Amino acid sequence: MEHTVMYPVDAIKTRMQIAKSSNIYSGIINAVTKISAAEGATSLWRGMTSVIMGAGPAHAIYFTVFETIKKNLSAKYGEHNPLVSAVSGASATITHDALMNPFDVVKQRMQLIKTNNSVINCIKTIYHTEGFRAFYVSYPTTLIMNIPFAAVNFSVYDTTSKLLNPNKHYDPLVHCIAGGIAGASAAAITTPLDVVKTVLQTKGGGSTTARLNSFVDGVKFIYNSGGLAGFARGMRPRIVANMPSTAISWTSYEMAKFYLYKTEMISGVKSKN
Task: Quote the domain boundaries for residue 228.
Answer: 139-263
Evaluate whether residue 61 is within a structural domain: no
Tell me the mean pLDDT in the region 61-67.
Answer: 90
Return the percentage of the chain with pLDDT > 70, whole number: 90
3-state secondary structure the chain: CCCCCCHHHHHHHHHHHCHHHCCCCCCHHHHHHHHHHHHCHHHHHCCHHHHHHHHHHHHHHHHHHHHHHHHHHHHHHCCCCHHHHHHHHHHHHHHHHHHHHHHHHHHHHHHHCCCCCCHHHHHHHHHHHHCHHHHCCCHHHHHHHHHHHHHHHHHHHHHHHHHHCCCCCCCHHHHHHHHHHHHHHHHHHHHHHHHHHHHHHCHHHCCCHHHCCCHHHHHHHHHHHHCHHHHHCCHHHHHHHHHHHHHHHHHHHHHHHHHHHHHHHHHHHHHHC
Evaluate whether residue 164 is within a structural domain: yes
Evaluate whether residue 212 is within a structural domain: yes
The enclosing domain of 246 has a CATH number of: 1.50.40.10
Tell me the mean pLDDT in the region 82-91.
Answer: 84
Residue 107 has pLDDT above 90, yes or no: yes
Evaluate whether residue 18 is within a structural domain: no
Domains contained in the chain, number: 1
What does pLDDT average to over the chain?
86
Evaluate whether residue 166 is within a structural domain: yes
Evaluate whether residue 190 is within a structural domain: yes
Evaluate whether residue 85 is within a structural domain: no
What is the tens place of the pLDDT at every residue in 4-57?
A: 878 999 998 888 887 554 567 778 888 888 888 888 888 899 999 999 999 889
What is the tens place of the pLDDT at every residue in 178-211?
A: 999 999 999 999 999 999 999 888 874 555 566 7
